[in-house]
Chain A
Amino acid sequence: MKKEMKKKLIIFGIALVVIAVGIVMACTLKFNRSLEFGSYTNLNVYMKEQSNLDDVRQIVSEVFSGKYEVEYTDEFYDTVSIKLKDITDEQLQNIKDKLVEKYGFDEIDNYIIEIDVPAIRIFDLVKDYIAPIVLSFVIIFIYNGIAFRKLGIYKSVIEPLITIIIIGALYVSILAICRIPINEYTIPVGIFIYIMSLLGITANLNNKSKNFATEKKK
């Protein structure tokens, strides 16, 4: 028992340290975001006719070494969207000048629309998931509290509750510490971890309950 307790305390301690470091990283350096989920400058360029994306990429890469993306915006392949992360005004002007030079735009404002796209707020990303996670969480913990009541409220509800909160906090901390970019996979992977954690906790309670019943019979 003591060995098991010691092991639990060590794991708990390590988890707390990781979470603390994660909180500090998240507050200071903020989270890393993929291009689409972060703030970027979007240039919508109307090319007048079908254009080659590689030519546009060539122009951008000559001026800008940061993250960018070039793609068509519709099925006519005559309008290109250039997304540029953390670009300076000077670099932006250089790209525009090179585009004008290559494609012969007369009135630049008729052909290039520049928009500053803000980063998606973390709250906006997760807010739709709060209700189903909290609701399923509460129902499952009420169920566990009833189904495994013989183990006592601490083992059947409180300890699992702490476990799942720590797992969630660890996931977020690892994202912050390892600078894993927030992208379209972040939330689904979090949901996967949430569901697997709940299943693991319930399986563990099920085993403990059986052992408890067996020991009681003895």
Chain B
Amino acid sequence: MEKKLKIALIILIVLLIVIIGFIGVYSKDLISYDSALPDYILSSELTGKRVTYFKIDDASEDKIYDKDGNEVEEIPEDANEEDYTTESVKINPEENLTKENYKKSKEIFEGRLKDLGIEYYDVRLNENTGEMVVELEDNVITDTVLQYLLAKGDFSFTDSEDGTVLLERSDLKDVSVVYGNDETGAVIIYLDIKFTDEGAKKLEEVSRNYLKLEESDENTTDSESTTENEQKQVTMSIEGTEFLTSYFAEVMTTGELTIAVGSGTDDATIYQYSTQAQVYAMLLNNDEMPLTYTIASTEYMTSNIDTNTFYIIIGVVAGLALILVVYMIIRFRLNGAICSIAFISAIAMLLIMIRYTSTTISIGGIMAMLVLMAFDAYFMTKILKSIKENPSLENVSFVTYGAYLQKLDLIIVLLIIAVVFTFMPQVQIFSIGMTLFYGIVSLIIANLVFMRAMLVSKYNGSRS
């Protein structure tokens, strides 16, 4: 009686897990039923993606030159217009339209997407025309990301008076975003620029030449003349926008320059400056674009795996699971049924974990589920064969743990793959890792708790 109660209780618990895992939990909210469990997140392979076509800008721009041949921004108001010439120049000169520049542009696109932490992207290059096709996940930030790809990414560090170039892009080694606090507790967002060895030497020299003048240095007066030393300043521009104009408070000897981007006390302001700094870091960590691109068109492309195909895939996985269950029951009878119940509960637990941990489901993740099914089938068969040969309580108690200990290597191999894949940034890869990891956890819980408890109860009862 006690044995039957125990088994019935375990089956009820398993049933509850299966209902929650496969059907879900719903609560009534005024007029509709809302799921209490988080929704499944499907990858772009299964839903759709944004496909954007980039072409090389073939437009021209007017450039104005003075009589000495110097380029000017505009003709001064009082100046004689005949002294100035306007020339229509292609934004992308012919000599820049080379395969090397096309490939470099693709590398920069990919570098920017990686630095932005975009989990899914694909960039294709037409090496003959330089046109590119970029596939991204379609979400709220996609349009912003596309604009970042179009950015030129130019950088200049010059004398604020005469525009002499003091530091070049090639002097930059790495740019990152760091945070600090001031005395009021406000969060300050900094751009931390590390220079190369060569760049560090230049920075030191520049900082010496553009050091803050002491008040006594600003005016020197002697009997013959009065000289006034003006404070020399540097201007740093990113993406054509003056980022800062200032002098150095001290000589920079560390090869590192930390510049404040902004500060704030509320989340919205901090987020705004943080995003701005991340964008600057992204632009500076990648080269300047050799060509200017425009967006020819952008479209949402639905997945090749439409709803019907997706259900077929799920159906195939479910069908394989069903074949496994039927095989277990036919070959091992009641013991097979017990293992099948544990197996189904493991799948349900995996689905619950996937929903709660927001694990993205991809085709690779579905393949990982097939691996887990094969893995569990192997262990169940081993355990049940052993029990069939020696149907005693001692053997059942031992083999339900022992089988896993004897084949611990297999669990270790799967865990290694799961952990390595989980730490990759691409969504299709970490989805495989996380599915494997949670699957192993689910299988171990289901088999060592439910399956073992039911088998031990069965043989315990039959012995008495």
- Tell me if A147 and B409 are in contact (CB < 8 A): yes
- Are B299 and A120 in contact, with the CB atoms below 8 A? no
Q: Are A206 and B407 in contact (CB under 8 A)?
A: yes
Which of A116, A132, A139, A202 is in CB contact (< 8 Å) with B126? Answer: A116
| Cβ < 8 Å to A, chain B residues 268-319 | 296-297, 299-305
| Chain A CB within 8 A of B426 CB | yes
A86 to chain B, nearest CB (A): 16
Instruction: Please determine whether A74 and B367 come into contact, CB atoms closer than 8 angstroms.
Output: no
Residues of A within 8 A of B302 (CB): 71
Contact A143 B53 (CB under 8 A): no
Tell whether A140 pairs with B364 under 8 Å between CB atoms, given A71-B302, A73-B300: no
- CB pair B299–A73 under 8 Å, yes or no, is yes
Verify if B259 is at the interface (C-beta below 8 Å from A): no
Report A-chain residues with C-beta under 8 Å of the C-beta of B407: 203, 206
User: Does B133 sit within 8 A of A, measured CB to CB?
Assistant: yes
Closest to B126 in A: A118
Q: Is B410 an interface residue (CB 8 A)?
A: yes
Q: Does A79 contact B (CB under 8 A)?
A: yes
Q: Which residue of chain A has the shortest Cβ distance to B436 in the bound complex?
A: A195
| A113 and B131 contacting across the interface, CB-CB below 8 Å | no
Between A81, A115, A135, the greatest number of chain B beta carbons within 10 A of the residue's beta carbon is seen for A115
**In whole Å, how far is B131's beta carbon from the nearest beta carbon of chain A?**
7
Q: How far is the CA of A139 from the CA of B414 in the complex (A)?
A: 12
0/1 string, B401-441, CB within 8 A of A gives 1: 00000110110111011001100101011001100100000
Write the A67-90 contact mask toward B (1 if CB under 8 angstroms, else 0).
Answer: 000010111000101000000000
Complex Cα gap A198–B412 (Å):
11
Question: Does B45 interact with chain A (Cβ within 8 Å)?
Answer: yes
For chain B, the bracket of interface size reads 35 or more
Name the segment of B117-125, B159-167, B340-348 touching the other chain. Answer: B117-125
Q: Which of A56-64, A93-101, A181-189 contacts B (4 or more CB under 8 A)?
A: A181-189
Bound state CA distance, A73 and B133, in angstroms?
Answer: 15
Judged by a CB distance under 8 angstroms, whether A173 is at the interface is: no
Task: Report the separation of the CA atoms of residues A91 and B438 in the bound assembly, to the nearest whole angstrom.
Answer: 52
Within 8 A of B (CB), among A152-177: none
Cα A205 to Cα B412 with chains together (Å): 14
Complex CA gap A36/B421 in Å reads 26
**Interface flag for A103 (CB, 8 Å):** no
Give Cα A192 to B436, complex, Å: 11
The answer to whether B129 and A116 have CB atoms under 8 Å apart is yes
Question: Judging by beta carbons under 8 Å apart, are B426 and A128 in contact?
Answer: yes
Most buried by A among B127, B133, B436: B133
A124 and B123 within 8 A (CB): yes
Instruction: Assess whether B363 is interfacial by the CB under 8 Å rule.
Output: yes
Does A24 count as interface, using CB distance less than 8 angstroms? no
Asked whether, in the complex, the Cβ of A44 is within 8 Å of the Cβ of B297, the reply is yes
Interface string of B113-150 (1 = CB under 8 A from A): 00000000011111101010100000000000000000
Q: What are 12 inter-chain pairs, A to B, with CB distance below 8 A?
A: A74-B299, A81-B299, A115-B55, A115-B131, A116-B131, A117-B126, A118-B133, A124-B123, A135-B420, A183-B304, A184-B304, A192-B370
Contacts from A to B (Cβ < 8 Å)? 34, 36, 42, 44, 71, 73-75, 79, 81, 113, 115-121, 124, 128-129, 131-132, 135-136, 139-140, 143-144, 147, 183-185, 187-189, 191-192, 195-196, 198-199, 202-203, 205-206
3 shortest interchain CB distances as A-B pairs: A73-B299, A192-B367, A136-B420
Instruction: Identify 19 new A-B residue pairs, CB closer than 8 A, beyond the known A184-B303, A192-B367.
Output: A44-B299, A73-B299, A73-B301, A113-B296, A115-B131, A115-B133, A116-B129, A117-B124, A117-B126, A117-B133, A118-B124, A124-B123, A140-B417, A187-B364, A195-B436, A199-B371, A199-B374, A199-B414, A203-B409
